[in-house]
Structure 1
């Protein structure tokens, strides 16, 4: 079974944000190999207003999942952890206990209704993402 190199971004701005991220990372590593994690970074919400500050990290994983299988896997983690609103479905950003985004998957370019790889907003628009990803994209 082949392994695919994937860069993920994780964020949380509800409750114990670091613990939420650690819980998600532990769930991810149950079936994937985590090669590298960034330091935690706090940031203001992007594209919506909230008084809750985000905690974010980037991670490089190796997975046997296809892009859609990986998306389904991380969406299940989000749902299991209590995330109620998916911004892709509802079209608005809100506070969230956990958010896990696939930023890149090998060198794949992939677009569907549910998923776009690479994640252009994280790569080119969001400052917190650029900080977290500066040492990750070409690793």
Structure 2
């Protein structure tokens, strides 16, 4: 079985955000693959929407045998298990969230489908906080 190197970015800004990240990391390790590297947790202000709730963010690198689509499905399942029933695409805007898990890089491939685009352009090239912590796990 072959394994894939993946970089994920996790964020949470409600209901004890740093604890939410900790729970999500445990679920990722139990259900998806081995976490190889973690950035430090950082606190950031919301980007592209207004909220009084700051985010707790972390970037991780992991090994998984899942395909990009299967990985996305498993990550969405974790978000749902943790209480995020609808993502930003449903609301057509960003909102506070208990957990958000984005696939940033998947090996060195470009992957485009209806629900997933890798590399994740905004987090790699536009959002300063994301660029900062992702560079520690690439």
Task: Note the aligned Cα RMSD (angstroms).
Answer: 0.9
Show structure 1 runs of 4+ deviating over 4 A: none
Question: Is 1:86 matched up with 2:93?
Answer: no
Aligned runs of 1:6-25 on 2, under 5 Å? Answer: 6-25=6-25
SS in 2 for 1:61: strand
**Alignment match, 2:105:** 104
Larger deviation, residues 116-125 vs 79-88: 79-88
Kindly tell me the number of residue pairs found equivalent between the two proteins: 137
Structure 2 portions without partners, runs of 5+: none
* CA drift at 1:27: 0.3
SS in 1 for 2:133: helix
* CA drift at 1:92: 1.1
Larger deviation, residues 85-94 vs 53-62: 85-94
Q: Deviations over 1:79-129 (max 9, x none)?
A: 110013311333211000000000000001011111000000000000110
User: Partners of 1:99 and 1:67 in 2: how far apart?
Assistant: 17
SS in 1 for 2:23: helix
Structure 1 portions without partners, runs of 5+: none
**Alignment match, 1:133:** 134
Work out whether residues 88 and 114 of structure 1, in 8 Å CA contact, stay in contact via their aligned partners in 2: no
User: Partners of 1:85 and 1:48 in 2: how far apart?
Assistant: 17
Q: TM-score, normalised by structure 2?
A: 0.96
Aligned runs of 1:1-139 on 2, under 5 Å? Answer: 1-31=1-31, 32-137=33-138
SS in 2 for 1:30: helix
Q: TM-score, normalised by structure 1?
A: 0.95
